[in-house]
Structure formats: structure tokens, C-alpha cells
Structure 1
Amino acid sequence: MAADPLSRVFAALADPTRRDMVARLAGADATVGELAEPYDVSVQAVSKHLRVLEDAGLVSRSRDAQRRPVHLEAEVLDLMTTWIERYRRQAEERYRRLDDVLASMPDDVSPTHPTDDTTPGGNPS
């Protein structure tokens, strides 16, 4: 059974090399050879990384004469952004409610601490 699209995107981006490739492709399209340059891996290894990114829908390849540029499909990142944003808003609302509770507390209330007027046996000293 194939994973849902969001799971494929997160799984593809779990690898730091693939995240770096996506970041580099955000600036401009690049060939496999250009993407392989900064890494100490073979072009074949980079191709495998790109295949994972392609399967997740994050990149596509096209043909431009002899050149085969890899293109970032940035709209797929919107899927992640939407998911993350929903939970960010929920967390923000919880913090807002906590701020309201803290703001409604009197400032002159000091925290209560247990007193140390008993011995370890529980008897007053």
C-alpha cells in the first residue's frame, strides 16, 4: 500500500542530503551533475536521491536539448506548510489561553513550598 502524499514528502525530506538538494533547487533548476558537485558521492547516488524526491512529487525532470534539468515542484511544499500551520495555530491558541490565565493571577501571590520543619521520619524536630 502506497503512503499518503504527505508521508512521502516528509519521508523524502528526512534525509539531510535531499533537504539540501531541495534548498539548492529553490534557487534555480540544476542538472544531476550540478547537484552532485558539492557531495562526496557518485552521480548514481544523487540520482537515487532524486528518484525519492520525484516519487514524493517534490521535483520533476525535463529535457532542454542535451540538458536534463531538475525542477523543484514548490507547490508540493504547500501540503507540508498547510499541515504544519494547522498545528502551529493550535499551539499558539493554547499559549494565548495560558497567557490570559497568567495575566489574571494577582502579582503578589508567592509560590507555596513545603516547609522543612520535619525530620525524615515525619516528626517535628
Structure 2
Amino acid sequence: MSGEPAEHRDAFEAVFSALAHPARRRVLLTIYFNGGSMTAGEIAAVFSHAWQTTTKHLQVLEAAGLVSSERQGRSRIYRLERKRLDLVSEWLAHFSRRPDHQEGN
């Protein structure tokens, strides 16, 4: 991992920082289990915190590339970005194989 380009490391940092907050993980799960896209109002209705808090979480998720948004009329639709979530699987895959220095053990 240390030999990876800075852009790739920055992407990992953005994704894992966004996923560090339990409310943001719950937002992603909410969108996922509702077909992969929801309006901002539908997402906010699931949570008991203030609208501004939900908006902030959505902004962090969007900045990390985990969701995208599109305005449709008066609504903003948020869509899960599965390809970006693949970074998590890619990072975790490092732990499914032995490091080179332990191969013979």
C-alpha cells in the first residue's frame, strides 16, 4: 500500500473518514435497502436528528464519492456509488492473504 499513488491513498482516506461516523454508515445502508437511490427528504425522514445534520452527512458522503446527487425538480436524489464502495473491499482484501514475509509459515 505504501507504493500506491497519492491519489489512491487520498481516495482511501476520504472513504474511510466518511465511513467512520455511524450515522453516515446508516445513511448508506438506508439508501442501499431502498433500491440504491432516495430523495434527501426520504433520507432525512429516517433519522431523528435535525435536517441540517442529515444534510452535512450527505455532503460528506458525496465529497468522498460514496453517493452522488442530482436535482430533479424541487427534489435532490441521492444515489449510492457502488464502485467507490469497492475501495473498502479492495483494502480489506489485503488481509485475506499473507504478507510476503510470512508466505512459508
TM-score for both structures, normalised by structure 1: 0.66
- How far apart in 2 are the matches of 1:90 and 1:35? 40
Q: Give the 4+ runs in structure 1 shifted more than 6 A.
A: none
Match among 50, 53, 61 for residue 53 of structure 1: 61
Residue equivalent to 1:20: 26
**Higher helix proportion (structure 1 or 2):** 2
- How far apart in 1 are the matches of 2:79 and 2:86? 16
In structure 2, stretches of 5+ residues that fail to align are: 1-6
TM-score for both structures, normalised by structure 2: 0.78
Cα displacement string for residues 41-72 of structure 1 (whole angstroms, at most 9, x for unaligned residues)? 11111000001001100011012233211001
- Which amino acid in 1 is paired with 2:42? E
The 3-state SS of whatever aligns with 1:90 is coil
**Higher strand proportion (structure 1 or 2):** 2
Match among 35, 41, 47 for residue 43 of structure 2: 35
Of structures 1 and 2, the larger Rg is shown by: 1
Q: How many residues align?
A: 94
Alignment root-mean-square deviation, CA: 2.2
In structure 1, stretches of 5+ residues that fail to align are: 99-125
